[in-house]
Amino acid sequence: MAEVAGSASRPAIVFIGFMAAGKSAAARAAAERLGVRAEDADELIEAELGEPIADFFAREGEAAFRERERAVVLRLLESAASDPPVLALGGGAVESEEVREALAGHLCVWCRVDEETAWERASRDAERPLAADRAGFSRRFAARRPLYESLARAIVPADAREAAREAAPWLAGMRELPATRMVWARSAGGSYPAVVGRGAVGLLELARAADSEGLPHRAFCVADAAALAKHGSLLPPVEATIEVIGSETSKTVGEAERVLGELAEAGARRDDMVLAFGGGVVGDLAGFCAATYQRGVPVVQVPTTLVSQVDSAYGGKTGVDLPAAKNYVGAYHQPLAVLADPETLTTLPAGELAAGFVEVVKTALIAGEPLWSRVKALGSLDPAGLEGVIFDCAVTKIEVVSSDERDSGRRAVLNLGHTVGHAIETATGYGRYRHGEAVGLGLLAALRLSGADGLRSEVAALLEAHGLPTRLDGAVDADQVVAAISRDKKATRAGVGFVLLSVPGEPRWGESVDADRVRAAVEELRDSGERAQGGGG
């Protein structure tokens, strides 16, 4: 494949990461797909030394090797400015401050591997002098991880060669969009880039330019009418646009039938793609239509609300509601890409932005530190200051989903606060509370059921600080909420399994909770609401 046309001053794509993360194989795979050369710093060092690195290391020591490494890497990066290849660096190269400064002008891709996997791979290789001592290995892993994290604009998983090959067109495009960051999502149902940053939507056209055969050429857009009016200029050319109202009332079987009919009338084929442009409602609806149209066509999610950018656009869940309960009809259908531009958040009403913040809180509770402290410290919900948090939330969700695509285990933790939250939405006809507001109330109930009273107070204060409700409207029937919980789509013969959490970062799922305790937690929210109403009379 030919390289993308344009300026020769593009940055190089540089794979970084700990030893045994698969950087060399990843660089070769990406370079092959893009039709450019790959350069491996360790191979160049060995060529200059005229001997294996391990032999030089044993004779001269680490300090002498690092100096050789620094010189070779700096030379590579300097020459890359005029002829950008794909590079692979040794695991310790980033410890040099000069190297880190030089990398700032390039696109760093972190081949992220967990410590146990890295040790299992590296300790079998006699040519790795730093993989002989487990304690030293662990110290190096801990010391280098923040360096990789700070340098990386893209993250690929431990099976880096295949991920790099698939990600290559997107990485090529990202060189033109310096404000974007990407994490490569992988699960049983498919792999895709999750991209966050200004200009992210434009990456679709850039990736197609880098790989004209690998991505669909025609797109049919299903768009939230309000988002389209405000941010339609972000969209690439499409064959047709089907507008929907971005409220929960649009998530119906009838609306799905209308959208499917319009796709057919517009001539959409199996080798085309659906572009979902809007918040969680549009993402769910358009994703469901893509999953079922001609038994499945690709979908690109372009989330335009905070709740969709941090949560609902990732993971492949699609669906519509029935009067009985939320999301009762649906399918798992992984997207072709998720492209999230925080620019679309600038025109959201304050209430909508705050409601989306609840999903940020939920994700931070699941992730634990350091994300939880960052979220607690947020002052205003200025979209310009949320970009990093949005990306970290996306990374957290993708990590959870990657090993449990279909909710058979750990993915259930993402339902923290949602069991009661969805029941509140159902009991109030999807009209009284925004989704995020209902989930916020559900979080408070879940924390009470967890016995985490102090954390519940902390979360309540955080919600109140951003203008979110912490009390259930006294007019809401608690019996209806409890009844809706029993119809939760995840209920089994054993009943409804709750997600509980006593300490941030340590969620538990599938927990059985006595029905009286559930009712008490809901009644507590409702009683508080009645007291608040009475006090304001």
Task: Find the CATH number of the domain harbouring 250.
Answer: 3.40.50.1970
Rg (CA), the chain: 25
Main-chain dihedrals φ then ψ at residue 309, nearest 5 degrees: -75, -25
Query: Quick one: 161 and 306 in the same domain?
Result: no
Q: Which residue has the tokens 């600080």?
A: 465
pLDDT at position 241: 98
For the domain that residue 474 is a member of, what is the CATH number?
A: 1.20.1090.10
Which uninterrupted H or E stretch holds 151? Answer: helix 134-151
- Cβ neighbors of 382 (< 8 A, separation 6 or more) are none
Q: Given the DSSP bridges, would you call strands 219-224 and 273-278 parallel, antiparallel or unpaired?
A: parallel
Q: What is the spatial distance between Cα 346 and Cα 341, in angstroms, rounded to a whole number? A: 10
Query: Quick one: 463 and 434 in the same domain?
Result: yes
**Residue finishing a domain among 340, 358, 391:** 391
Two structure tokens written together for 414:
């993402």
pLDDT at position 494: 67
Mark residue 295 as left, alpha or beta (left: phi above 0; alpha: psi -120 to 50; beta: remaining).
left
Asked if residues 131 and 122 have their Cβ atoms less than 8 Å apart, the reply is yes
Query: Quick one: 242 and 308 in the same domain?
Result: yes
**Residue finishing a domain among 108, 140, 174:** 174
Asked if residues 106 and 80 have their Cβ atoms less than 8 Å apart, the reply is yes
The answer to the question of residue 113 being in a domain is yes
Query: Quick one: 327 and 355 in the same domain?
Result: yes
Taking residue 162's Cβ as centre, other Cβ atoms within 10 Å add up to 17
Burial-class residue 415 by CB neighbours within 10 Å (0-12, 13-18, 19+). Answer: buried
pTM here?
0.90
Asked if residues 338 and 312 have their Cβ atoms less than 8 Å apart, the reply is no
Query: Quick one: 165 and 285 in the same domain?
Result: no
pLDDT at position 429: 87
Query: Quick one: 136 and 90 in the same domain?
Result: yes
Two structure tokens written together for 42:
């360790």
Asked if residues 33 and 165 have their Cβ atoms less than 8 Å apart, the reply is yes
Query: Quick one: 377 and 445 in the same domain?
Result: no
Query: Quick one: 98 and 238 in the same domain?
Result: no
The answer to the question of residue 397 being in a domain is no
- Cβ neighbors of 129 (< 8 A, separation 6 or more) are 53, 54, 57, 58
Query: Quick one: 355 and 455 in the same domain?
Result: no
Residues found in the chain: 537
**Number of independent structural domains in the chain:** 3
The answer to the question of residue 308 being in a domain is yes
Query: Quick one: 381 and 262 in the same domain?
Result: yes
The answer to the question of residue 74 being in a domain is yes
The answer to the question of residue 2 being in a domain is no
Q: What is the spatial distance between Cα 15 and Cα 161, in angstroms, rounded to a whole number? A: 11
Alpha helix ranges (H) inside 175-233: 203-210, 225-231
Residue 446 is part of which domain span?
A: 407-535
Asked if residues 318 and 366 have their Cβ atoms less than 8 Å apart, the reply is no
**Any bridge partners for residue 332, and if so which?**
317
Mean pLDDT by runs of 10 across the 537 residues of the chain is 47 95 95 93 94 91 94 92 86 96 95 94 85 92 96 91 94 95 92 96 93 86 97 96 94 97 97 97 97 97 96 94 88 96 94 94 96 92 91 95 82 93 90 92 97 96 95 86 84 81 95 91 77 40
pLDDT at position 4: 41
Query: Quick one: 355 and 313 in the same domain?
Result: yes
Q: What angle do CA 184, 185, 189 make, to 5 degrees?
A: 140
The answer to the question of residue 223 being in a domain is yes
The answer to the question of residue 8 being in a domain is no
For the domain that residue 105 is a member of, what is the CATH number?
A: 3.40.50.300
The answer to the question of residue 401 being in a domain is no
Asked if residues 522 and 461 have their Cβ atoms less than 8 Å apart, the reply is no
Q: Which residue has the tokens 């507001």?
A: 437
Taking residue 209's Cβ as centre, other Cβ atoms within 10 Å add up to 16
**Residue finishing a domain among 174, 191, 208:** 174
Query: Quick one: 92 and 114 in the same domain?
Result: yes
